Amino acid sequence: MIFQIQILKDHFNMKKLPKTYSNILLKNGYLIINSENYGSIEWIKNLIIKTIKKNVKKFDGELNNLHKFVSIKKLNKIRMSVYNTINKNTELKKKYFSVCNNVIDELVGNELAIQKKINISFQLPKDNSSLLSLHSDVWSGDSPYEIVVWIPMVDVYRTKSMYILPQNKYSKFLNTLKKLKNKSSNQLYKKLKNDFIWLNLKFGQILIFNQTLPHGNVINEEKTSRISLNCRFKGLFTPYGTKTLGDFFEPFSMKVISKIGTNYKLPKL
């Protein structure tokens, strides 16, 4: 047992490990990469712009300016219309995966499940209707065996982006959680506010993060709008939470022997 514990300690000793995507994720809890397929990310952006134009009269096609054409009151109706429309496009998941396929292969594997519908978020300046307070996805039924791929369709920074608790602050978070009597997300955020990292990305960059780490957003105090997408990938045969295969997830890539095995039925003798 002592030998096994030492192996684990050595494995998580980041000073001894080379800089691979896997080790960066283990150390930080997140990583930011440039798109592996810029054409695909442009395709996704154009699909969103085209869909918004069908719903919003006189929209100029600049996603940063969405707040000039859509009121906060009508925002969710527009978002749901765009969400439903883009998810009907059979190419969307393939394009989404292509922007980070090599990284996902290293982090997760090559037999994958993907969430059935890709989420899209709109956050206008001063908009308090699109907030996700401090949370971890596993608290609401997601599996710790998942990775989130978050793609902004515009440059994001400061309050126009999202925050995450880095891996090296997670122990402090657990200790704070134990000590707090009122364990509301707002109270936790205030206690740990200085520990969170705000993630700045240019359009064309992608955030991949460990969804077990607390994260969230606040009111967008910048002058332009944010549009972003998020999607979860996991090993096809890894444990699921309450969001199961067939319900929330669907197979995305599968080796031939796995196809044979899942389709096999023992004959009745």
Q: Which domain holds residue 173?
A: 25-236
Average pLDDT over residues 207-228: 97
Residue 89, both tokens: 């496009």
- Tokens 């490990």 locate to 17
Confidence (pLDDT) at 240:
97
Residue 240, both tokens: 């699921």
Confidence (pLDDT) at 16:
63
Confidence (pLDDT) at 155:
98
- Which is it for strands 215-216 and 226-235: parallel, antiparallel or unpaired? unpaired
- Asked whether residue 85 is domain-assigned, the answer is yes
- Asked whether residue 266 is domain-assigned, the answer is no
21-30 pLDDT, tens digit each: 999 999 999 9
Q: Residue by residue, what is the 3-state secondary structure of 37-61?
A: CHHHHHHHHHHHHHHHHHHCCCCCC
Confidence (pLDDT) at 181:
72
Confidence (pLDDT) at 73:
93
Give this prediction's pTM. 0.90
DSSP letters spanning 177-212: HHH-SS--HHHHHHHHGGG-EEPPB-BTEEEEE-TT
Q: Are 140 and 180 in contact (CB under 8 A)?
A: no
Cα 246 to chain center, whole Å? Answer: 20
Count Cα neighbours of 170 within 13 Å in the Cβ-side half-sphere: 17
- Asked whether residue 248 is domain-assigned, the answer is no
Pick from 184-188, 201-205, 260-264 the range whose average pLDDT is largest: 201-205
- Asked whether residue 11 is domain-assigned, the answer is no
- Asked whether residue 249 is domain-assigned, the answer is no
- Asked whether residue 2 is domain-assigned, the answer is no
> Domain count of the chain?
1
- Asked whether residue 134 is domain-assigned, the answer is yes
158-194 pLDDT, tens digit each: 999 999 999 999 999 999 888 887 778 888 888 899 9
- Asked whether residue 174 is domain-assigned, the answer is yes
Cα 81-87-91 angle, rounded to 5 deg: 140
What CATH number does residue 46 fall under? 2.60.120.620
Does pLDDT of 118 surpass 90? yes
